[in-house]
Amino acid sequence: MKQLIESGRFSLEEIRERVARIHRLALARSPYLKTGNFTRIHSSDLQLLFDLYDQSFFEGEMRAALGNSPLRFRISRRMTSAGGHTVRFTPRGGHGTTKYEIAVASTLLFQAFADDSHRTISSCGHVCHDRLEALQRIMEHELVHLIENLVWSSSSCSAPRFRSIARRFFGHTESTHQLITPKERAFVQFQVHRGAKVRFRVDGREYQGIVNRVTKRATVLVRDEEGQLYSDGHRYAKYYVPFNLLRVIREK
Ligand SMILES: [Zn+2]
C-alpha cells in the first residue's frame, strides 16, 4: 500500500469521474440516502462509501492493509465544528489488535443545503452542490487520515505528506471545510453570539441573560441568587436555549 500511496496520482478529470460515479452508486445502493440532499443517514452509508472509495481509488488496498483490525463507522450528532474525525486505538502494551474509527458530523451536513442556507458551501477547496458531495469530501479527508495511520502509524492534516496525498488522489487544495457550523448559523440568522444580551421565555416567564457559549444551542447565563458563583462576583443560572427562541437585546 505504501508504494501506491507514495506514487499514485489521478488527473482532475479522472477524480471528477470517479467521484461522480461513487455519488451515483451510493444513491443507488443505500437504503437511507435517497437524494443528493438526503434527510437521513446511517453509519452503514459510511461503510458503503469506504468500500466504493477503496475500489475506485486504492485497488482494495485499504481493506487489505486493515487486515484483522476492526474499522468502525459512526455518525456523530454532537460534533459541531469538525466535519469528521478518525481515531486509531492502540492496545495497551502492544498486545491485541489496533482498532480504527471514522466519525462524521451529521449536524454540519444537515445544516448545509438547508432551505435557509445563506451561502455557497465548499470543502477541501471544492464547491459542493449537495449534501452527498459534502459528505464525500469529508470521507476523502478522513480516508487520508486512515491511510496515513495504516502506513505510518500517525497522521496530521497540516503536514506536507497529508496534503500531498489529498491532492494527488482527491484534488484537495485545502484541508478544511467551509460547512456552516451552528455558531455561524446562530450569528447570521439570529444575531446570537458570545456576549450578546438576550431575552427568552420559559413556561410563560421571561428571562434576560448573556450568551456565554454557542454550540447547537446557546448557553445563556441569567442572574440568579440561587445560581452558581462566577468570576465577576455574581451568581447565575445556566439555560440551554435554541437560537430561534432568543431575542437579542440591542444596546442603545
Ligand atoms: Zn484532518
Check: CB of residue 22 under 8 Å from CB of residue 36: no
Neighbours of 155 (CB within 10 A): 20
Using the mean position of ligand 1's atoms as its centre, give its distance from the Cα of residue 141 in Å.
6
* 156-201 confidence digits (pLDDT tens): 998 999 999 999 999 988 777 666 677 777 777 788 888 999 999 9
Q: pTM to 2 decimals?
A: 0.75
> For ligand 1, a single-atom ion, which residues have Cβ within 5 Å?
157
* 14-43 confidence digits (pLDDT tens): 999 999 999 999 999 999 999 999 999 999
Using the mean position of ligand 1's atoms as its centre, give its distance from the Cα of residue 91 in Å.
23
Taken in order of first residue, the domains within the chain and their CATH numbers are: 2-180 (no CATH), 185-248 (2.30.30)
* 81-121 confidence digits (pLDDT tens): 788 999 999 888 777 889 999 999 998 888 877 766 666 77
Using the mean position of ligand 1's atoms as its centre, give its distance from the Cα of residue 105 in Å.
13
DSSP one-letter string for 52-81: HHHHHHHTTHHHHHHTT--EEEEEESS--S
Using the mean position of ligand 1's atoms as its centre, give its distance from the Cα of residue 84 in Å.
8
Using the mean position of ligand 1's atoms as its centre, give its distance from the Cα of residue 137 in Å.
11
Q: Pairing state of beta strands 205-214 and 218-229?
A: antiparallel
Using the mean position of ligand 1's atoms as its centre, give its distance from the Cα of residue 148 in Å.
11
- In this structure, is the dihedral angle defined by the CA atoms of residues 188, 193, 198 and 202, taken in order, positive or negative? positive
Using the mean position of ligand 1's atoms as its centre, give its distance from the Cα of residue 127 in Å.
18
pLDDT value, residue 118: 64
Using the mean position of ligand 1's atoms as its centre, give its distance from the Cα of residue 175 in Å.
7
DSSP H helical segments within 88-211, as ranges? Answer: 106-111, 131-152, 160-170, 182-190
